[in-house]
Amino acid sequence: MTDFQSVKTVAVLTGAGVSAESGVPTFRGKDGLWRQYRVEDLATPEAFHRNPALVWEWYDWRRELIANCQPNQAHLTLAEMEKALPDFTLITQNVDGLHRRAGSQKVVELHGNLWDVRCVAEGTVREYRRVPLPEIPPRCQCGALLRPNVVWFGEPLPAEAIAAAQEAATSCDLMLVIGTSGVVHPAASLPFWAKQGGAYLIEINVQRTPISTYADEVILGPAAVEVPRLWAKWRQAVE
């Protein structure tokens, strides 16, 4: 076990597993209209250019599925950790927005946010939580199309987000890797950069991943159970 009393800088990387117990469905829908489409044919700039209404129908469906999902104990505990620790950065691959709803403020959203829209003409981004959408495809006040502010296949991650994530990973004393498969890059590289920088690496997942071999500790179990348990031990160690 790491010496929590010596930890000053913490970085956390989360993936889909952190939201599983909130009822957030997996990325690929299996029902209705979407059974006949590949996700790669819907979540690309080319698909949006070709048929923005179809792409928005799919995203409207996804937004409706997660609209009533609530942050679970893993999200809430991470928000509590941020308030208690002096230098804490949360990096997430998720687009469900549950970390922010739980109260986390220092969040780096590598893949964007499903509840934000971006004007294709002006580039302006704003939150738009209305479900279902009153108009498909939705339009900006300027008349141009709005698109989901998420990273699609074939698009680079936002430069500002990946720079912030790399800085947090390479400068932390401790990194928690929670509920991520460890196969989607560049996010999957962050734990290795943290290790190279001398960080202590703890992985929490329901199963082992490619990261497990390099982790100093592997905690097998659901995030909503194991993250609060780890935080309780942490607080006990420093009190």
Sign of CA pseudo-dihedral 185, 218, 201, 82: positive
In whole angstroms, give the CA distance from residue 52 to residue 46. Answer: 9
Contact 161, 168 (CB under 8 A): no
Catalytic residue among 49, 75, 99, 111: 111
For residue 27, what are the β-bridge partners?
none
Contact 18, 178 (CB under 8 A): yes
For residue 202, what are the β-bridge partners?
176, 217
SS3 58: helix
Residue 187, C-beta contacts closer than 8 angstroms, at least 6 positions apart = 13, 15, 91, 93, 110, 165, 180
Residue 87 has φ and ψ, to the nearest 5°, of: -140, 100
Tell me whether strands 200-205 and 9-14 are parallel, antiparallel or unpaired: unpaired
Length of the chain: 239
In whole angstroms, give the CA distance from residue 107 to residue 14. Answer: 11
| CA-closest candidate to residue 169, choices 49, 3, 5, 13 | 13
| 111 a catalytic residue | yes
Q: Which helix (H) or strand (E) holds 102?
A: helix 98-102
Active site residues: 111
